[in-house]
Amino acid sequence: MEILHKKEGFICDMDGVIYHGNRLLPGVKEFVGWMQRENKRFLFLTNSSEYSPKELQQKLARMGLEVDESHFYTSALATAMFLKNQMPGCSAYVIGAPGLLNALYDAGVTMNDVNPDYVVVGETRNYNYESVLRAVTHVRAGARLIATNTDMTAPTEAGIIPACRAFVAPIELASGKSAYYVGKPNPLMMRTGLKKLGVHSENAVMIGDRMDTDIIAGIETGLDTVLVLTGVTQQADLELYPYRPTYILNGVGDLPPKA
């Protein structure tokens, strides 16, 4: 643990690590307070595409945690950057929440439900059969299928719920095309996170609750990894994976040095 305390940069997932839905998890205030006191560089890197950094900052504030907006980076922003770099001025048919739509608008991507260049899928509470039909039609007509992240499920206060990959699956099956997933564990998002931190991978750590996104992303980017057992992955699940995190903690509250 002493090695962890000396790290300069911390990349931290949010769902299942910092909160469940609108409930802050135990020890989070102490963990964030320690990073702030020690002048650690930290970034909340979330695969959720529903919210903008400002909305995430306000969400934490409502739960009693003050963090500057600059400490957030989302799969929606990563997806928007990817499309801007791939095809500047492109158009998209989007199944997603305002956080994704706003990120795409800001990147110069226009909305198009007639002949889009891309079909982009993220988490949304308005997922419906009509939108799936349109998405399948566009992909079969040649639109490229892009998804914000590979998470199949997400933890909430009410339990585990479907996430992006579950939403994309019917479109992939009906169109015969596989989506390109931009979020973790895609190295694109991790490299951007390290660049925003301004820290070398050897001096950074990835903290997450998912072996299949957070931990593998950290391993493949050369970071030490911390699995917390407050979200999707439990201790017994470790046997399902051929790789291991560097550390396993009950929650982020276990990370700050004890007085």
Q: What residues act catalytically?
A: 13, 15
Q: How far apart are CA 243 and CA 239, in angstroms?
A: 9
Q: How far apart are CA 18 and CA 209, in angstroms?
A: 10
Torsion sign (Cα): 247, 251, 256, 259: negative
Distances (CA, A) of 130 to 124, 136, 152, 162, 246: 14, 10, 21, 18, 44
For tokens 């895609």, the residue is 186
Q: Is 88 exposed, middle or buried (0-12, 13-18, 19+ CB in 10 A)?
A: exposed
Q: Is 129 exposed, middle or buried (0-12, 13-18, 19+ CB in 10 A)?
A: exposed
Q: How far apart are CA 1 and CA 177, in angstroms?
A: 44
Q: How far apart are CA 189 and CA 47, in angstroms?
A: 9
